[in-house]
Amino acid sequence: MKVTKDSIIGDVLDFDIETAQFFLEIGMHCLGCPASRGESIEAACMVHDTNADELIEKINEFLASKE
């Protein structure tokens, strides 16, 4: 899976639940809420005042390391 700004958080978590750590690090503690699971990474990062590109890079590096 290649994560982008348009990726939906729930889809990323469903692909690999271990990615939750990266969302928790930026203060996204409501990962089980239906609203947050349906948000794009870009939208969630705007709400949490976080750089989406940095988060995406971390997640993609993590996923690549597991291949």
Stated pTM of the model: 0.89
- Residue 24, domain member (yes or no): yes
Please give the residue range of the domain that contains residue 39. 9-65
Indicate the number of domains in the chain.
1
- Backbone torsions φ then ψ of 7, nearest 5 degrees: -60, 140
Q: Which of 4, 12, 3 is nearest to 38 (CA)?
A: 12
- Cα-to-chain-centroid distance, residue 31: 10
Mean pLDDT of residues grouped by 10 in the chain (67 residues)?
96 95 87 82 92 97 94
- Which residues, other chains included, contact 63 with Cβ-Cβ below 8 Å and sequence gap of 6+? 1, 3, 15, 16, 19
**Structure-token pair, residue 64:** 């690549």
- Residue 57, domain member (yes or no): yes
- Residue 4, domain member (yes or no): no
- Residue 1, domain member (yes or no): no
